[in-house]
Amino acid sequence: MSEMEKPIVKISCQNLWKVFGRNPQHALNLIKDGMSKEEVLEQTGHVIAVRDISFDVTEGEIFVIMGLSGSGKSTLIRCINRLIKPTMGRIFIDGVDLSTMSGAKLRRTRRHKVCMVFQQFALFPHRSVVDNAAYGLEVQGVEKAQRKKRVLEALEMVGLKGWENSYPDELSGGMQQRVGLARALAVDPEVLLMDEPFGALDPLIRRQMQDEFINLMSVVHKTIVFITHDLNEALKLGERIAIMKDGQIVQIGSPEEIVSVPADEYVTEFVRDVPRSKVVSVRNIMREPELKLYRWQGPKVALHAMSEKNIRRAFIVDSWGRLSGVITLNEVARAIVRHVQRLDEVAREHALQIGPDQAIEEVIPLAASSDNPVAVVDEGGRLIGEVPRVALLLGMMGKENSNDTT
């Protein structure tokens, strides 16, 4: 974790503004003079759809933009590939400024680098599934055999093998969006812009598509800007989430930050119904282990230490601090009776364990299956904490780490 390379910024939006209306510059000046969005709309009929938005998306990240209807999400994402020209501000992809780009250069970027998936699928009804998926390559001028090969690959990736010659209106919503996804993937772009791609699907299909999407994205490495107004979807897919309101971003953060530390009332309202156990990670509720015993220590030492701390169970680690088992007070007592020399001769090998970045939700079944505390171990297998049941309950209620007294 500590020695990660510096993340590469893939998309960078800097002070983006979009005003719809006859004279955007005038409306912009009014705003700068302190007029409110509503007043501008009232007096000049201009809509401030995107308002001074800045953010960076790093390479390979899934960046989710969330907000209520009309908050400017679609406008913002369309600024990124310049389907909409921003009134002010700049957009960089790989450090290249798109905000001033036009003509052939812009087309080249759209053909090779940035593809889009639409809420209403936007498939061409007069083209079959293959021909739809091939559109991007066709526009690029890729020759036919090559095109076909890549399109079939993309269709297979999204699970549409065998449907090549169907037409969009013969497919269900979920399958239509797979075509939409294949159309974008066939081009093999570095960036995917997705405007509520699963918004038009019913909940069951939507969840299935989300899962498949996550799997797919772990195979093809893409930078993704994903729009949704469904918080659960955002929490599930997003590495970072930006919350939009009235054309502005009110908070950017990891799912956990958004849920645990909402920036304002609006976000609080948004995340009120989220089960905390889904997003709060174990790290936030774990404690220092109360007692670490070493494999080579004897049962008498263990008994002494345990009775001193008045605990009935302790984790056993090796000389490098790696978790190797768990032992109870009873087992220690029996070991003393049997004249055992080292704890590792009697310890149970399998302690319940979990990583610090997993959601609390995942600890619950573990904790329910036994009354031993759950051990928290890092990637090296070292014991870094434990989750007692009390902490788990408190964590689910939103009071993580409040009883750190040791």
Quick one: which of 67, 86, 189, 289 contacts ligand ATP (CB under 6 A)? Answer: 67
Number of residues that bind ligand ATP (CB under 6 A): 12
Task: Name which of residues 34 to 93 contact Mg ion (CB under 5 A).
Answer: 74
Q: How far is the CB of 73 from Mg ion (least distance, A)?
A: 5
Q: If contact means CB under 5 to 8 A according to the sort of partner, which of another protein, Mg ion, ligand ATP, none does residue 72 touch?
A: ligand ATP
Q: Is there binding between residue 228 and Mg ion (CB under 5 A)?
A: no
Which residue is nearest to Mg ion, using beta carbons?
Answer: 74
Interface residue list for another protein (CB under 8 A): 20-23, 43-47, 78, 81-85, 102-103, 106-112, 115-116, 118, 120, 122, 124-128, 135-136, 138-140, 165, 167, 183, 187
74 vs 251 by CB, closer to Mg ion: 74
74 vs 372 by CB, closer to ligand ATP: 74
Q: If contact means CB under 5 to 8 A according to the sort of partner, which of ligand ATP, another protein, Mg ion, none does residue 69 touch?
A: ligand ATP
| Alpha carbon distances (Å) from 215 to 83, 220, 237, 326 | 29, 9, 11, 35
Q: Is there binding between residue 109 and Mg ion (CB under 5 A)?
A: no
Q: Is there binding between residue 228 and ligand ATP (CB under 6 A)?
A: no
Q: What radius of gyration, in Å, describes the C-alpha atoms of the chain? A: 27
Q: Is there binding between residue 72 and ligand ATP (CB under 6 A)?
A: yes
Quick one: which of 26, 90, 111, 229 contacts ligand ATP (CB under 6 A)? Answer: 229
Q: If contact means CB under 5 to 8 A according to the sort of partner, which of ligand ATP, Mg ion, another protein, none does residue 330 touch?
A: none
Q: Structure tokens of 275?
A: 């089960």
Which of 171, 193, 51 shows the shortest CA–CA distance to 115? 193
122 vs 352 by CB, closer to another protein: 122
Rounded Cα distance between 65 and 249, Å, is: 9
Q: How far is the CB of 80 from ligand ATP (least distance, A)?
A: 12
Q: Is there binding between residue 157 and ligand ATP (CB under 6 A)?
A: no
Q: Is there binding between residue 70 and ligand ATP (CB under 6 A)?
A: yes
Which of 267, 266, 249 shows the shortest CA–CA distance to 258? 267
Q: If contact means CB under 5 to 8 A according to the sort of partner, which of Mg ion, another protein, ligand ATP, none does residue 71 touch?
A: ligand ATP
Task: Name which of residues 239 to 268 contact ligand ATP (CB under 6 A).
Answer: none
Q: If contact means CB under 5 to 8 A according to the sort of partner, which of another protein, Mg ion, ligand ATP, none does residue 406 touch?
A: none
Quick one: which of 28, 47, 171, 391 contacts ligand ATP (CB under 6 A)? Answer: 47
Q: How far is the CB of 250 from ligand ATP (least distance, A)?
A: 13
84 vs 340 by CB, closer to another protein: 84
Report the Cα 24 to chain-centroid distance in Å.
35
Q: If contact means CB under 5 to 8 A according to the sort of partner, which of another protein, Mg ion, ligand ATP, none does residue 167 touch?
A: another protein
Binding segment toward ligand ATP, per CB under 6 A, in 63-71, 167-175, 252-260, 294-302: 63-71
HEC-encoded secondary structure of the chain = CCCCCCCCEEEEEEEEEEEECCCHHHHHHHHHCCCCHHHHHHHHCCEEEEEEEEEEEECCCEEEEEECCCCCHHHHHHHHCCCCCCCEEEEEECCEECCCCCHHHHHHHHHHCEEEECCCCCCCCCCCHHHHHCHHHHHHCCCHHHHHHHHHHHHHHCCCCCCCCCCHHHCCHHHHHHHHHHHHHHCCCCEEEEECCCCCCCHHHHHHHHHHHHHHHHHCCCEEEEEECCHHHHHHHCCEEEEEECCEEEEEECHHHHHHCCCCHHHHHHHCCCCHHHHCEHHHCCECCCCEEECCCCHHHHHHHHHHHCCCEEEEECCCCEEEEEEEHHHHHHHHHCCCCCHHHCCECCCCEECCCCEHHHHHHHHHHCCCCEEEECCCCEEEEEECHHHHHHHHHCCCCCCCCC
Q: Is there binding between residue 7 and ligand ATP (CB under 6 A)?
A: no
Q: Which residues bind Mg ion (CB under 5 A)?
A: 74
Q: Which residues bind ligand ATP (CB under 6 A)?
A: 20, 47, 49, 67, 69-75, 229
